[in-house]
A and B are shown apart, each in its own frame.
Chain A
Amino acid sequence: MIRFPAAQLLRIVAIAAILLWSLAPIGLGVITSLSTQTDVQAVPARWLPHHATLDAYRSLLGGSGDFRAGGTVSESGAFTHALWNSASIMMLSTLAILCVAISAGYAFARLRFPGRGALFWAIVATTVVPVFTVVIALFGFLADAHLIDRKLGLVLVFVSTTTPLAMWLVHNHVKQLPTEPEEAALLDGCTRWQAFWHVALPQMRSGIAALSAIIVLLVWGEFLIPLLLTSTNASKPVTVFIPEYIGKYTTNYPLLAAAGVLAMLPPTVVALVLNRHIRGMLSGSS
């Protein structure tokens, strides 16, 4: 008979519970996306579809006009356009956040200038301000700048809300790196900027990879800000677009589920690819 010590048993149970908690909705989503509306609404409930079908995916990606989803018609290409919105917003934001956060975080970690500590903590402190407390003012600003319902507006807001956190992470990462290679570069004839570019930046590679993954996941999953700052399909990202499949009287659940599964793919791929670096950064060995 295999015997488990109590602590180990508890651990296994806890892990199983966490897995169930996080994977069950995804599993349910995948199953629903492969079902028909009849399967979903069957009484008693069916756990597996009688006739598995990819119709929901076809409809989303191909955009067949006759597929009615609740009160909303799945317009041709609307979902793929929302995916594209999400992707372009995510890429632009990530790039901009990385540029600002890396240079600022590095400067705060390495350069000595008056007011460094105060300025650094003032910026970091903004991370504790919940975004919904400033969102009304933000709306006003963006409206004045004609950036409501524009992707650029969202990118700017994401850059300003996420950069302090990213800068903080970069700062801590740089603090852990030895200063000597950069000093050696200065003695080897580099300017401060060249030492950063040729020596510090390559050293930070895995930290930057981990940070990119974190930013991608944060930006991709953002809901509240795009909900308030977009109004048409021209700029809506998937997170805001998907709930529109929920109709007032009926909802096409397979379509909704398939949209969810598709929206989950890009961040999953990013997380899988950069997983090694994220683990490295969390354990401080990157």
Chain B
Amino acid sequence: MKRQKLIAYFFLAFFFLCISICTSGKVLAASDPVGTATGKAADLGVDAGTLTIGKLADFVGHNTISINFMWLLLTGFLVMFMQAGFALVETGFCRAKSAAETMMMNFIVYAIGMTGYWICGYALQMGGVGGFASLGGGAALSKEITITLFGKPFGLFGGTGFFLAGASYDVAIFAMFLFQMVFMDTAATIPTGAMAERWKFSNFCIFGLFMSMLIYPLYGNWVWGGGWLAKLGENFGLGHGMVDFAGSSVVHCVGGTAALAGAIVLGPRVGKYNKDGTPNAIPGHDIPMAILGTFILAFGWFGFNPGSTLAGVDLRLAVVAVNTMLASAAGALSAMLYMWYTTGKPDPSMSANGMLAGLVAITAPCAFVNSISAFIIGAIAGVLVIWSVYFVERVLKVDDPVGAVSVHGVNGIWGCLALGIFADGKYGAGWNGVEGTVRGLLYGDASQFIAQLIGCLVCFTFVFVSFYAFFKISDLLVGIRVSKETEIEGLDIPEVGALAYPDFQTIVSSEL
């Protein structure tokens, strides 16, 4: 009892001491509880009396660029987290017997892709971009390899920035590397979903390098690195050239098209199609996991799209962020309602695909459209993804367990075309070196739509042919598909040597 009393007295005394300190004027004088007094000229290390306008402007410039750096890096970190979203969506839509292997692909693609992109991917993509205005630097990336066709220069790929070494040892170039690298890795992780449950892990590893070191950087250069698609406006009068704000084509269509090529070369999973060609559903083992992954992706998209302003001081990012979330809601809603109406149940996995489809579709136009257009674009995406899933499964007879081809490929194209239709002329002054703002078909610039169409055609054709050839050749060299026994048993033990759920008995009796 005595001890408890002592403790009680002690706390009472401490409490009164705290109150007396809090109310004493002396302590308050040195603190700034509201925040308005923090940050003065003295913090710049200069005397306000002798400060020149030029020096002051330098400080403002440094601050502006710093805000842009912070924005770019923070949104880049958000996009990095999308890797977790992809891992959960893809694994949730696959079966328990291959869950560890599916996770392992989604996990290690981050490391493989980054390594390849650091070696040469970034250099090929951005090596000729000539600098980043919003980051106040990067001029060392000055070498674009071009050829001349029709009397105009066609930029093909960059030639500086390998290993981020030499003149590329620069803060702006490093910051942009982080941002571009996580975008590239998004594209690289898309095919792991469409090709899941039958793709040889070793083949996948080689794919990761091919994507990050060559194919993604090339198309990325053509649209974002100052290459020939970006110059379609300057050279041929087609709108502002191919415009893709955050990567409907560069990231999603590239990933989705590679996924299609891969899934075709691999063939469907054992048991997916009956002898008469009708498809069987193969339910995913963890829908809650897939829904969680969808939410993580939607969260990461706040980095993907708003971050693509490349500048925290470009306040258009508020419009970008709101358009992004509106399109995601519209996609999820339209997909859910469509499934509810046509099948009787609001299918969770298809609704999740609908949200992702809306996000993919708004990725290119998010900065150029108003909120009503954003909602329409997302709503169309939500139905388009379902039609596409049916088309891929029932007409093309291609087995895509997670709907990656439909979500990323088809809606990536839809997003780029949507920009060419709905861009309202409020934003994008001087984009790709063309005067005026970006306008779509409905706002008086049909040539912008043509540029988008060309961009999409080039994307699909180039990526599909490249990856079809890659997968065919790599099949001859190292093999692309696991044995039938491995596939029926599940890829976990044969391919990566670890079961996802060793404590649970998973009955593997039939081909399903």
The finding on whether chains A and B are genuine partners in a shared complex, rather than unrelated, reads no
Residues of B within 8 A of A (CB): none
Residues of A within 8 A of B (CB): none
